[in-house]
Every structure is written in C-alpha cells, then in structure tokens.
Amino acid sequence: MSAQPNPLAQPSLTLQRRLNATPAKVFRAWTEPAQFMTWMHPGGSDVVRAEFDVRVGGDYTIGFRKPDGGEVEVRGKYLEVVPDRKLVFTWTPRGGTEHESRVTLLLEPEANGSATWLTLTHERFADDAQRDDHRHGWTDGIDSLERYVA
C-alpha cells in the first residue's frame, strides 16, 4: 500500500483582490462560459472552449490557445457551489503531467455590497514550479477579470 501525499506539505497559493462589482456579477463571470471566454487570458492565452456544468458533481472543460499556437486543456469537477459566494473545483491539465489540484474561490461582499473581495486559493500542486507557473496565470486572469467587471 503506497502512502498518500500529505496535502498540507504540497505547494499552494492564495491571491486576493478587491473588485468593483457585486458578488453576483463576479460569480457570473466565473460560471457563464461566454463571459469567462471574454476575460480569461492567462499569459496572453485565449480561451477557445469553455463548457461548464456548474453544480456539485458537474464537470467543466476549458481549452486555452497559447500565444505560440499550442493548446492546453483543463478539466475538472465542481465540488462545492454556493451561488454568488463560493466555488470549489478540481483542476487537471490534460497532456503532460495530469496532476489534479484544487481551486477555491471565495466572494465576500463589502459592507455596501457594491464591491467584492475575491480570494482564490489553488492547492495541492505537484511542485513549486507548477505553483509558480499558476501564480502568474491566475494573476493575469484576475487582472483581466478586474477590468472586465469594473
């Protein structure tokens, strides 16, 4: 019997950003494929395919086209869905290393409700290099999201 990796020992990252939009608007940007394809551009990539079945146990597929023309596909399953507040999903790139990690998005409204604190936590990376690569991609994506929802 092989030992399971300790999730606490695996690299993770957390990013937080204040967005000038309601939690409902931010949630829709993450869960409606047409919106997601408009704003998500990590590392200059374009989303060329987005299929979301946003419910606990539902699957999603995202196809990215990188600036060099190469394509990457990510698939996963929604583990927790709380409309306008929280999304938890697995994250598994296809091709190369198909290591499954987990993403948690928390959306917290400010007191007046017109702005949202987004906290993105991505955990269970295979190694530090994978975490660092995703930190750049998620930062680019959240930068684009901030402009999109403003």
What is the tens place of the pLDDT at every residue in 35-93?
999 999 998 999 999 999 999 999 999 999 999 999 999 999 999 999 999 999 999 99
Domains in the chain, CATH or no CATH each:
13-149 (3.30.530.20)
Distances (CA, A) of 144 to 1, 29, 34: 45, 11, 15
Burial degree of 34 (CB within 10 A; 0-12, 13-18, 19+): exposed
CA of 148: how far to CAs of 17, 41, 121, in Å?
14, 11, 21
Query: Among 2, 5, 1, which Cα is nearest to 102's?
Result: 5
- 3-state SS class at 138: helix
The whole model's pTM is what?
0.91
pLDDT in tens, 128-147: 999 999 999 999 999 999 99
